[in-house]
Amino acid sequence: MPSIHVIQAMAEVFDTSVDYLTGRTDNSTPDTFLIHSATDPELFQLIKTYRTSDTNTKDRLMTYIQQITKHLI
């Protein structure tokens, strides 16, 4: 059996969850993401900022992200 690190890497590559790969769920959509500050510092900082923000700032950030992604699709 592969190590948990290998399973996590496989889940990231296949854009699924460890639970799906190990048979703990039938839902292939990941419900968590593993983000390392060393490999993705910008995203890590964004999430850190979001988590420590007040509700108003979180709402503003989400509105901004929704506006940006609307133009990407």
Query: Average pLDDT in the 18-46 region?
Result: 87
What's the domain count of the chain?
Answer: 2
| In the block, residue with structure tokens 């983000």 | 35
Whether residue 69 is found in the same domain as residue 52: yes
Give the whole-angstrom CA distance, residue 35 versus residue 65: 18
Task: Judge whether residue 71 has pLDDT over 70.
Answer: yes
Provide the CB-side half-sphere exposure for 4 (13 A, CA): 2
Q: Which residue range forms the structural domain that includes residue 60? A: 37-73
Where helices occur in the chain by DSSP H, the ranges are 4-13, 18-21, 41-51, 55-70
Whether residue 42 is found in the same domain as residue 29: no
pLDDT at 73: 59
Task: Judge whether residue 53 has pLDDT over 80.
Answer: yes
Q: Per-residue confidence at 28, pLDDT binned at 50, 70, 90?
A: confident
Give the whole-angstrom CA distance, residue 39 versus residue 65: 22
